[in-house]
């Protein structure tokens, strides 16, 4: 059971006479418990400044009551504190878990915050079929099978899968495609698949290929290579030269996979190598994934450092947030020690279901791995800072070109995509000081039934209405960074006027808006810019800010047309069978495989429908009556 206590003014803010800063914190100490728990520091407006955990709430909070001896960051945080809230927990581990959940939910200004927490892909060897499929998998591990990963990126998985196909000849086609094949596909012809779909390999032989692939993914590649070499020698001795040549090609492909892995630390079978570099108030964390004595790629992260947090706090916060939805490996190697290593070890071990060790190696192969990751972190941060500086200059130029009060922190760019009004979709992209914020992109299915086909004005009005109605509902006081500083629309004066009318009706008239229209001959470089109530203007054709705007517009167009194509493809996949009661995916596949097309099913007689595997007499009559009903 967790108790909650609000003190020192609560979330409604402190009165002018109420103490703040050190004085406030000092006044709270007497009433604090010595139990583990979580504390929140709030400003005068009730906004959460910081969330922290404590083994002993009174002892931890008393550190903030001292008038001196704090870093500049902590001093600013204490000075802004007008109230505090406390939650007691039964254990320290529970306090750490609660702290990480609150940080993710509240995003306090002075906390370290991981901004990129995407899932990582795995390789799945499916086990729900006599001839298992090998494929890329991302998300919850619900399909039955063996999982190998994580890999740092989809590209890393695809490269490995491509080589594994050459070596182990495992299928990657869907079960539906497998069951519908009558002759081998192209992958068999180019020696990337054993063609189990047409019986070119027995179930036992294919099982052997699967076993070898899993041995390789488990780091037992030497055993696999020895088996292949033995089979090649036996084939050559039996004068089966074609089979020997095929085995030779597979051995070569296996060698290429091993070379492509890069770092192959034989003394470290499984680990995540996590290295941090901080410079100029910015941080980069580089994570290398080592599984089965192989490097499965690396990824860099740029956490928000909470206005200047030190390395131990940054790394500890990163570990707690990074592994919130990922299974930790048995070993985590760090570039810097963290404050509560024993507590973090316990939390991650509980999450993983096995013992997790956190170490800061000083010598040997493990220290070399950390140094390699640290070097990557330094180089990545240098590139990022250079890009950020260039981006900052572009945003300053954008503000000057459009007469904005300051460089925009959040730019939203809107575009529509459709074919003569069909499958209409609106798209929004977001850009800012860190470039394109792809996690903030949004798609909008155009829902207005009264919109005439191809009416771009009405479509844009619908998208902007839905976007800002939600903003007004979720953040009417504009306290978060979700509100844009600039809206860019792909369109001319008419589009801008239509959107301006929508914004005026909603009471949102202070967000700057610019329309980008193709100029003379619709050539890039001759764009005209439109703002409500002002004459159109152009920018010099060689101005860097013009190229920047073109990139924004092109990215919005790419996003919108991608959403439109996906919607159109989904609609194309719809067949008349989807409307028949009782027809699910399995029966639909059986009918299409038997008759060849949905159109043929609609014309089929009752006797023909009964002949389809999985279609009972009652279901056959239901299908027949659906398509042959009189009147």
In this predicted structure, what is the pLDDT of residue 624? 86
In a domain, 401, yes or no: no
In a domain, 111, yes or no: no
Question: pLDDT tens across 551-590, in order?
Answer: 999 999 999 888 888 777 666 566 677 778 888 878 888 8
Residues 199 and 285 both lie in one domain: no
- Count Cβ atoms below 10 Å from residue 244 Cβ, excluding itself: 18
CATH label of the domain that carries residue 350: 3.30.420.340
Q: How far apart are CA 506 and CA 509, in angstroms?
A: 8
Section 524-536 average pLDDT: 84
**pLDDT: which is higher, 542 or 24:** 24
Residues 425 and 467 both lie in one domain: yes
| Residue whose token pair is 């709270």 | 28
In this predicted structure, what is the pLDDT of residue 247? 72
Question: pLDDT tens across 364-403, in order?
Answer: 999 999 999 999 999 999 888 888 888 999 999 999 999 9
Residues 502 and 424 both lie in one domain: yes
**pLDDT: which is higher, 494 or 455:** 494
Section 110-118 average pLDDT: 81
In this predicted structure, what is the pLDDT of residue 442? 92
Residues 281 and 416 both lie in one domain: no
| Residue whose token pair is 């890039």 | 524
> Which of 523, 547, 571 is the last residue in one of the domains?
571
Q: Which of 539, 519, 499 is nearest to 413 (CA)?
A: 499
In a domain, 481, yes or no: yes
In this predicted structure, what is the pLDDT of residue 82? 93
In this predicted structure, what is the pLDDT of residue 396? 93
Q: How far apart are CA 215 and CA 402, in angstroms?
A: 61
In this predicted structure, what is the pLDDT of residue 390? 87
Section 325-330 average pLDDT: 89
85, 6 contact by CB (below 8 A): yes
Section 228-255 average pLDDT: 75
**Overall size of the chain counted in residues:** 631
Q: Which of 630, 625, 631 is nearest to 580 (CA)?
A: 625
Report the mean per-residue pLDDT for the chain.
85
**pLDDT: which is higher, 45 or 242:** 45
In a domain, 151, yes or no: yes
pLDDT band at residue 14 under the 50/70/90 scheme: very low
| Residue whose token pair is 């963290």 | 338
pLDDT at 610 over 60: yes
- Count Cβ atoms below 10 Å from residue 455 Cβ, excluding itself: 19
In a domain, 399, yes or no: no
> Which of 216, 242, 260 is the last residue in one of the domains?
260
Residues 567 and 580 both lie in one domain: no
pLDDT band at residue 9 under the 50/70/90 scheme: very low
In a domain, 436, yes or no: yes
> Which of 365, 382, 399 is the last residue in one of the domains?
382
pLDDT band at residue 10 under the 50/70/90 scheme: very low
Q: How far apart are CA 236 and CA 329, in angstroms?
A: 43
Q: How far apart are CA 243 and CA 234, in angstroms?
A: 10
Residues 530 and 583 both lie in one domain: no
In this predicted structure, what is the pLDDT of residue 582? 82
Q: Considering the chain, what percentage of its residues have pLDDT values greater than 90?
A: 36
Residues 200 and 341 both lie in one domain: no
Q: How far apart are CA 398 and CA 553, in angstroms?
A: 14
The parent domain of residue 429 ranges over: 411-571
CA distances from 476 to 108, 405, 479 (A): 19, 22, 8
pLDDT band at residue 333 under the 50/70/90 scheme: very high
In this predicted structure, what is the pLDDT of residue 257? 57
Question: pLDDT tens across 55-80, in order?
Answer: 999 999 999 998 888 888 899 999 99
Residues 544 and 422 both lie in one domain: yes
pLDDT at 102 over 70: yes
Instruction: Report the b/e string of 114-126 with b at 16+ CB within 10 A.
Output: beeeeebbbbbbb
Residues 415 and 564 both lie in one domain: yes
In this predicted structure, what is the pLDDT of residue 523? 55
Q: What is the DSSP string of 17-44?
A: TS--HHHHHHHHGGG--SS-EEEEEE-T
DSSP H or E stretch at residue 366: helix 364-402
Share of the chain residues as helix, strand and coil, in percent rounded to the nearest 5:
45, 20, 35
Question: pLDDT tens across 254-266, in order?
Answer: 666 555 554 556 6
In this predicted structure, what is the pLDDT of residue 180? 84
Q: Which of 533, 280, 293 is nearest to 388 (CA)?
A: 280
Residues 547 and 584 both lie in one domain: no
Q: Which of 36-40, 170-174, 192-196 has the highest mean pLDDT?
A: 36-40
Beta-bridge partners for 274: 287, 334
pLDDT at 250 over 50: yes
- In this structure, what token pair is assigned to residue 69? 């001896």
**3-class SS of residue 189:** helix
In this predicted structure, what is the pLDDT of residue 259? 52
Burial class (CB in 10 A: 0-12, 13-18, 19+), 250: buried
550, 524 contact by CB (below 8 A): yes
- Count Cβ atoms below 10 Å from residue 523 Cβ, excluding itself: 10
Beta-bridge partners for 413: 429, 488
CATH label of the domain that carries residue 97: 3.40.1440.10
392, 433 contact by CB (below 8 A): yes
pLDDT band at residue 138 under the 50/70/90 scheme: confident
Question: pLDDT tens across 401-414, in order?
Answer: 999 999 999 999 99
Cα angle, residue 103 at apex, residues 102 and 108 outer, rounded to 5°:
120
Q: How far apart are CA 251 and CA 123, in angstroms?
A: 21
Q: How far apart are CA 504 and CA 507, in angstroms?
A: 5
In this predicted structure, what is the pLDDT of residue 256? 61
Q: What is the DSSP string of 523-581?
A: -TT--EEE-TTS--B---TT-HHHHHHHHHHHHHHHHHHHHHHHHHHHHHT--GGGGST
In a domain, 402, yes or no: no
In this predicted structure, what is the pLDDT of residue 131? 92
432, 441 contact by CB (below 8 A): no
Answer yes or no: pTM beyond 0.75: no
Please give the distance of CA 551 from its chain centroid, rounded to a whole number: 22
Total domains, the chain: 5
Provide φ and ψ at 134, rounded to 5°: -115, 130
pLDDT band at residue 304 under the 50/70/90 scheme: confident
- Count Cβ atoms below 10 Å from residue 454 Cβ, excluding itself: 14
Residues 129 and 246 both lie in one domain: yes
In this predicted structure, what is the pLDDT of residue 419? 67
- In this structure, what token pair is assigned to residue 328? 């930790």
**pLDDT: which is higher, 506 or 541:** 506
pLDDT at 5 over 60: no
pLDDT at 510 over 60: yes
Section 415-432 average pLDDT: 82
Residues 81 and 157 both lie in one domain: no
In a domain, 154, yes or no: yes
């Amino acid at each position: 059971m967790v108790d909650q206590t609000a003190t020192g003014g609560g979330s409604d803010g402190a009165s002018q006479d109420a103490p703040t800063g050190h004085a406030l914190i000092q006044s709270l100490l007497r009433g604090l418990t010595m139990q583990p728990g979580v504390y929140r520091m709030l400003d005068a407006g009730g906004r959460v400044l910081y969330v922290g955990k404590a083994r002993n709430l009174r002892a931890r909070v008393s550190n903030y009551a001292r008038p001196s001896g704090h870093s500049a960051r902590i001093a600013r945080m204490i000075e802004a504190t007008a109230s505090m809230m406390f939650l007691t927990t039964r254990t320290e581990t529970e306090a750490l878990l609660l702290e990480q959940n609150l940080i993710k939910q509240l995003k306090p200004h002075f906390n370290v915050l991981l901004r990129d927490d995407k899932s990582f892909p795995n390789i799945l060897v499916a086990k729900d079929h006599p001839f298992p499929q090998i494929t890329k998998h991302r998300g919850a591990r619900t399909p039955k099978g063996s999982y190998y990963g994580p890999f740092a990126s989809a590209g890393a998985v695809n490269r490995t899968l491509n080589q594994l196909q050459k070596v182990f000849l495992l299928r990657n086609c869907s079960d539906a495609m497998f069951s519908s094949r009558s002759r081998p596909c192209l992958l068999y012809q180019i020696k990337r698949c054993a063609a189990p779909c047409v019986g070119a390999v027995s179930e036992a032989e294919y099982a052997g290929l699967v076993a070898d692939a899993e041995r390789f993914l488990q780091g037992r590649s030497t055993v696999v290579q020895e088996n292949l070499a033995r089979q090649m020698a036996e084939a050559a001795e039996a004068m089966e030269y074609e089979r020997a040549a095929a085995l030779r090609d597979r051995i070569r492909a296996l060698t290429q996979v091993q070379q492509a892995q890069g770092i192959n630390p034989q003394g470290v079978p499984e680990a995540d190598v996590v290295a941090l570099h901080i410079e100029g108030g910015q941080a980069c964390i580089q994570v290398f994934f080592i599984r089965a004595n192989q490097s499965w790629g690396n990824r860099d992260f740029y956490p928000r450092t909470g206005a200047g947090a030190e390395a131990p706090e940054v790394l500890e916060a990163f570990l707690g947030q990074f592994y919130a939805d990922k299974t930790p490996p048995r070993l985590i190697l760090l570039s810097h020690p963290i404050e509560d290593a024993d507590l973090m070890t316990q939390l991650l071990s509980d999450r993983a279901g096995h013992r997790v060790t956190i170490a800061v190696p000083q010598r040997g192969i493990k220290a070399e791995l950390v140094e390699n990751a640290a070097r990557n972190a330094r180089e990545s941060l240098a590139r990022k800072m250079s890009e950020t500086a260039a981006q900052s200059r572009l945003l300053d130029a954008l503000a000057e070109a459009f007469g904005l009060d300051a460089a925009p922190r959040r730019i939203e760019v809107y575009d529509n995509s459709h074919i003569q009004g069909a499958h209409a979709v609106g798209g929004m992209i977001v850009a800012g000081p860190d470039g394109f914020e792809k996690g903030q992109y949004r798609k909008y299915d155009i829902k207005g039934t009264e919109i005439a086909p191809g009416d771009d004005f009405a479509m844009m009005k619908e998208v902007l209405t839905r976007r800002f109605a939600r903003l007004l509902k979720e953040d009417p006081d504009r306290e978060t960074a979700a509100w844009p500083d600039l809206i860019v629309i792909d369109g001319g004066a008419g589009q801008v006027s239509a959107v301006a009318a929508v914004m005026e009706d909603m009471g949102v008239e202070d967000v700057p808006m610019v329309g980008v229209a193709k100029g003379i001959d619709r050539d890039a470089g001759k764009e005209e810019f439109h703002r409500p109530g002002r004459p159109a203007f152009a920018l010099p054709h060689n101005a860097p800010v013009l190229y920047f705007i073109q990139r924004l517009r092109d990215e919005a167009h790419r996003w919108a047309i991608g959403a439109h194509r996906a919607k159109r493809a989904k609609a194309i996949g719809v067949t008349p069978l989807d409307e028949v009661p009782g027809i699910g995916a399995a029966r639909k596949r059986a009918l299409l495989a038997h008759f060849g097309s949905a159109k043929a099913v609609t014309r089929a007689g009752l006797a023909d429908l009964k002949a389809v595997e999985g279609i009972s007499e009652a279901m056959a009559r239901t299908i027949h009556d659906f398509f042959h009903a009189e009147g």
